[in-house]
Amino acid sequence: MSKRILFTGGGSAGHVTVNVALIPKFVKLGWDVSYIGSIKGIESELISNIESVDYHGISTGKLRRYMSIENFKDPFRIVKGVFEAYTLIRKIKPDVVFSKGGFVSVPVVIGAKLNNVPIIIHESDITPGLANKIALPLATKVCVTFPETLDHMKSDKATYVGAIIRDELRSGGASQGLSHLQFENSKPIILVMGGSLGSKKINDTIRRNLPTLLDQFQVVHICGKGQVDDSIQLNGYQQYEYIHDELPDVIASADIVVTRAGSNSIFEFLALHKPMLLIPLSKAASRGDQILNAQSFEKAGYAEVLLEEELTDESFMLSLNILFTRKSQIIDTMAKHDQSNTINQVIELIQNTARTR
Ligand SMILES: CC(=O)N[C@H]1[C@@H](OP(=O)(O)OP(=O)(O)OC[C@H]2O[C@@H](n3ccc(=O)[nH]c3=O)[C@H](O)[C@@H]2O)O[C@H](CO)[C@@H](O)[C@@H]1O
């Protein structure tokens, strides 16, 4: 009988793309693969069309850090989600659950524990997110991406594995990227990505500085859902809400990147040797995890960092020019970083943690 793995994780693409990297590996190994996510979230968009995956949507509540009327309804949604996850897991009978975090993962982890299924959680950021903090006592093992996380997560369950990157990202072609973007070979290309959901602050800064930027560069701008501005039609400037299949080619064609400091994105740019200007999400809007991610990359010599509080048109153009000048030196530093074996290490850990039947 085939082994069975159940994945969970969602809310933003950063809580899904690691699962997207692992799923084909388990399909190839002959495992049955199921996924529990939300009914309408990005995970349902990114996963439910993968043929070999049995996708189940459950009721979810968001773990907010701010006051909202929804905070009173969400405990009921979460309890409903736990009941749905528990019942599904009883039926699916997975040998192991792999959780990438995000609020949808909490009911799934609780449902797995109630069914006595071993749970592996994966933390992408330096400090654990709220969902993973709740999941930690229930988990069998915890995989972490940054070595520094072991200091924040004082648990013998934690193992440093590094970043899990989708294979397809490594096979992009710069010339395919150029032709997809309808760009020329004459000017360098900046890829702007304000996280998987987009960033209004970064979008506005780019658009205000477009005349100056386009003198020197071509700009491909991933703006986030609903944030493309159709009134801007300029040569050498392309906007997208989100890029799916063409992302490997687009990244391959880019010379430098301007991005938030979401863990998956920055490790992907590191693996693909793309020097980065990081503008981390501020502490006012988050637990400050992206600031720590960014500082770690700056210290390692992979990135320039500009804090949101210090973001002005002048500081942005200055940091961008410094990055562009340091480009070759940064690429040399990036070339010394090798994480090509992380995915195999994680697969082995999952296989060793799964129940034996
Ligand atoms: C606002 C917020 O809560 N952000 C968090 C979220 O970020 P976010 O969801 O932005 O996640 P990441 O930057 O880590 O990853 C985004 C993923 O989406 C992919 N992608 C993105 C754009 C696109 O057009 N196409 C595409 O495929 C990227 O290649 C990457 O694999 O999860 C990260 C990982 O836990 C955290 O570090 C971030 O702090």
Q: Is 282 a pocket residue for ligand 1 (Cβ < 6 Å)?
A: no
**Atom 13 (ligand 1): residue with closest C-alpha?**
262
What pLDDT score does 121 carry? 97
Provide the 10 A C-beta neighbour count for residue 289: 21
Domains of the chain plus CATH, in order, are 4-165+340-355 (3.40.50.2000), 168-335 (3.40.50.2000)
From residue 320, give the alpha-carbon distance in Å to each of 96, 206, 243, 245, 256. Answer: 45, 11, 23, 28, 9
Q: Ligand 1 mean position to 222 CA, how many Å?
A: 12
Take atom 16 of ligand 1 and give the residue whose Cα is closest. Answer: 14
Per-residue pLDDT, 49: 86
Task: Grade residue 65 by pLDDT with cuts at 50, 70 and 90.
Answer: low
Residue closest to 194 by CA, chosen among 217, 224, 172, 168:
224
Q: How many whole angstroms from 78 Cα to the centroid of ligand 1?
A: 24
Averaged pLDDT for residues 234-258: 97
Determine whether the annotation assigns residue 166 to a binding site.
yes
**What is the token pair recorded at 92?**
């699916």
Q: What is the pLDDT of residue 66?
A: 62
Q: pLDDT tens, 333-347?
A: 999 998 889 999 999
- pTM for the structure as a whole: 0.95
- Is residue 13 a known part of a binding site? yes
Q: What tens digit of pLDDT does each residue of 251-283 get?
A: 999 999 999 999 999 999 999 999 999 999 998
- Cα 274 → chain centroid: 16
Distance, CA 294 to ligand 1 centroid (Å)?
14
253 marked as binding residue: no
Per-residue pLDDT at 18 exceeds 90 = yes
**294 known ligand binder:** no
